[in-house]
A = this chain, B = another copy of it.
Amino acid sequence: MVGYGFMGKAHSNAYLKVNRFFPELARRPVLKCLCARNADKARAFADVWGYESVETDWRRLVERRDIDVVDIGSPNDTHRDIAVAAAASGKWVLCEKPLARDVAEAEEMVAAVERAGVPNMVWYNYRRVPAISLARQLVNEGRIGRPFHYRATYLQDWTISADVPQGGATLWRLDVDVAGSGVTGDLLAHSIDTAMWLNGPIVRVVADAETFVKERVHQETGKPRPVGIDDACAFLARFANGSMGTFESTRYARGRKNYNTFELNGADGSLHFDLEDPQYLDFFEYRRPDGGKVEDHLTGWRRVHVTNFEHPYMDRWWVPGCTIGYEHTFVNALADFLAGAESGSAAQPDFRCALQTQKVCDAVLQSARAGAWVDAPTVIGVE
């Protein structure tokens, strides 16, 4: 495990729990080593979570023979080097999203894992929110029909104050050199991954981005520095299936904390989701797959409380009506990764799949700079 931050904690928790709730898995993760630059903090974190050892240089981690899997939870500017080296040494590689700071880095990483032939996955954990997995299932069951519209927002409000600094261990997401971009890589990447999983490839975009706070103190130097990230970014899109998309992301939407929503409208039905109420998938049924129409006086948005045993992953957790939360998306994802690695069928999104999301992100940023529509090239080999 590389990194002890927010993601280090979320991933460690997943390793701790996965075999308890997915006991059929043959593989049982062992927490061999926690790797981070700050030795004291790494040691403290390793103690709490039960890591056997600590490294302060990821190069040493990658070289170790007793380690089979490297999980990259450190800032974006470290993803490429660690992943490429880990793959080269034959280790399985898990990587936090976004895959990289840009397409060039991401392509190197895809090449590395494919050359090495190692199992790999990017932690787009929200696919494993049971309600989102259910959305995918309903699409696959043909309940939506011809799609017309997809709209997504990912709204937060934690950077409104100009007093929030940038950089350092906890605020590197505001430092463009480390993060690569702002909300585009951090939030829109999630929205895009979900959108393409549910509605297929995005083929072109036109975007608008803004940096509302132009200067922030850097945590390490204590000095003001221009802000290089996008604080907010919205774009219009076209999907390969002809439907229209609207996407918006910001950290300046007062009152929205983790408001990651999507809505898909098709001729036969619609879906709506909001990550602040992750236990629900809203479903409007107009025509059933057998062709029958819902009676006109009974139509309505149905709020499915996604906690039945029949819902994705929910037979592993508690009983109907009992919710799970944020952390469980990582456990579900890890279980899928381990099962996929065992069976030889890679859990998605792997690096190649995540590269496609990266390409859309780059197109969005390019469009925002150019003020024009930009095509999003397709990655060969992604379903």
Residues of A within 8 A of B (CB): 6, 10, 12-13, 16-17, 19-20, 23, 48-49, 134, 137, 148-149, 151, 153, 155-158, 160, 206-208, 210, 212, 232, 234-236, 238, 244, 246, 248, 250, 252-259, 263, 265-270, 275-279, 283-286, 295-305, 307-311, 317-328, 371-373
Given A321-B276, A323-B325, A301 and B49 touching (CB < 8 A)?
A: no
B371 engages A371 (CB within 8 Å): no
A276 engages B279 (CB within 8 Å): yes
- Please give the count of copies of this chain that the complex contains: 4
A322 engages B258 (CB within 8 Å): yes
Given A254-B270, A325-B325, A326-B323, A246 and B244 touching (CB < 8 A)?
A: no
Q: Which B residues lie within 8 Å of A17 (CB)? A: 13, 16
Cα–Cα, bound, A376→B278 (Å): 40
Q: Which B residues lie within 8 Å of A156 (CB)? A: 321
A254 engages B300 (CB within 8 Å): no
Cα–Cα, bound, A95→B153 (Å): 36
B265 engages A246 (CB within 8 Å): no
How far, in Å, is A273 (CB) from chain B's closest CB? 13
Given A6-B319, A298-B304, A308-B296, A206 and B255 touching (CB < 8 A)?
A: no
How far, in Å, is A131 (CB) from chain B's closest CB? 11
A10, A267, A305: which has the most chain B beta carbons within 10 Å?
Answer: A305
Q: Which B residues lie within 8 Å of A160 (CB)? A: 148, 267
A265, A276, A278, A300: which has the most chain B beta carbons within 10 Å?
Answer: A300
Given A234-B236, A324-B326, A149 and B318 touching (CB < 8 A)?
A: no
A310 engages B283 (CB within 8 Å): no
How far, in Å, is A124 (CB) from chain B's closest CB? 16
A252 engages B232 (CB within 8 Å): no
Closest partner residue, chain B, to A258 (CB atom)? B321
Cα–Cα, bound, A301→B325 (Å): 21
Q: Which 3 A-B pairs have the closest CB atoms?
A: A258-B321, A257-B321, A255-B284
B153 engages A232 (CB within 8 Å): no
List 17 additional A-B contacts (Cβ < 8 Å) besides A253-B265, A276-B321, A296-B309: A6-B318, A6-B319, A12-B20, A19-B48, A134-B297, A148-B250, A148-B253, A160-B267, A235-B236, A246-B246, A255-B284, A256-B270, A276-B323, A278-B323, A325-B328, A371-B372, A371-B373
